[in-house]
Amino acid sequence: MSYQGLKSPSAQPAGRWERAVISWPDDAALHWTRLLIETAHRDSAVKAVVATGSAVRDVEHSDDLDLVVVHRAARPVLSRPPISIDLRCFCQTDIVPKLTTGHSFLSWAVRFGRPLFERNRWWSQLRADWNARLLLPPATESTERAMRAEHHRDALAEAGDDDAAAEMALSALTHHARAALSKAGVFPHSRPELPGQLRQIGEHQLAEVVDRALACRYL
């Protein structure tokens, strides 16, 4: 299936797409996303806008909203998103090659993301074609990211930035958890869901450590 020639615009009705996000981090995120959806309707280069991450999962805490914008040709001109939004833009011609090589973020978005806007069901067709053959995130890649995060954690702790060091420690634990799940053949869910998944594969000690780190973050 080619994803290059789909032209007719369609989107979820006003209000419905907003409910696709279970937990909006703040009003700024909602307001900016509304403007983004308006831009998507006007700009034929935008193929899809997809919400992903813990904000679309039924979890207790979600600090931010991950948004994916798929576009053709040049990236659309967008205002700077608020700090509560993590925006990632991809050219449509790059999507399939990245999924073929197991791109972890895009694979997660295809499996769990919720489209807020899609032109002629572009994202829905992509998911239908790819959901059953998505690759697990490479465990080696997650382990390497964990090691880099631990290096940054140590540097931040040495500099006396305890809050940033704690955040980097949580990032390292997240990557270790994802590596363990991938090794067990389990597709990782959002970060708040990782401890439960780890217990299901017998990684109880790592699950407890991740649980404690998450609890400290939300104190």
Q: How confident is the model at residue 182 (pLDDT cuts 50, 70, 90)?
A: very high
Say if pTM beats, i.e. exceeds, 0.95. no
211 or 61: whose pLDDT is higher? 211
Q: For 91-95, 102-106, 113-117, 203-207, which range has the lowest pLDDT when averaged over its residues?
A: 102-106
- Which amino acid does the sequence have at 1? M
* Mean pLDDT, residues 161-190 taken together: 94
pLDDT, residue 164, reads 93
Once rounded to an integer, what is the mean pLDDT over residues 26-31?
94
Which tens digits make up the pLDDT trace of 40-50? 999 999 999 99
Does 13 score more than 70 pLDDT?
Answer: no
Contact 122, 5 (CB under 8 A): no
Grade residue 25 by pLDDT with cuts at 50, 70 and 90.
very high
- pLDDT tens sequence across 66-79: 999 999 988 888 99
- Domains along the chain? 9-133 (3.30.460.10), 139-213 (no CATH)
pLDDT band at 10 (very low <50, low <70, confident <90, very high): very low
- By the 8 A CB rule, do 149 and 176 touch? no
Residue 15: pLDDT above 70?
no
Q: In this predicted model, what pLDDT tens digit does every residue of 112-146 receive, in sequence order? A: 999 999 999 999 999 999 999 999 888 999 999 99
Q: Please, which residues have CB within 8 angstroms of residue 63's CB and are 6 or more apart in sequence?
A: 25, 54, 84
Q: Is the pLDDT of residue 3 over 60?
A: no
Looking at per-residue confidence, does 217 or 123 come out higher? Answer: 123
What is the SS3 string spanning 41-68?
Answer: HHCCCEEEEEEECHHHCCCCCCCCEEEE
pLDDT for residue 29 is more than 90: yes
Whole-number Å distance between alpha carbons of 26 and 30 = 7
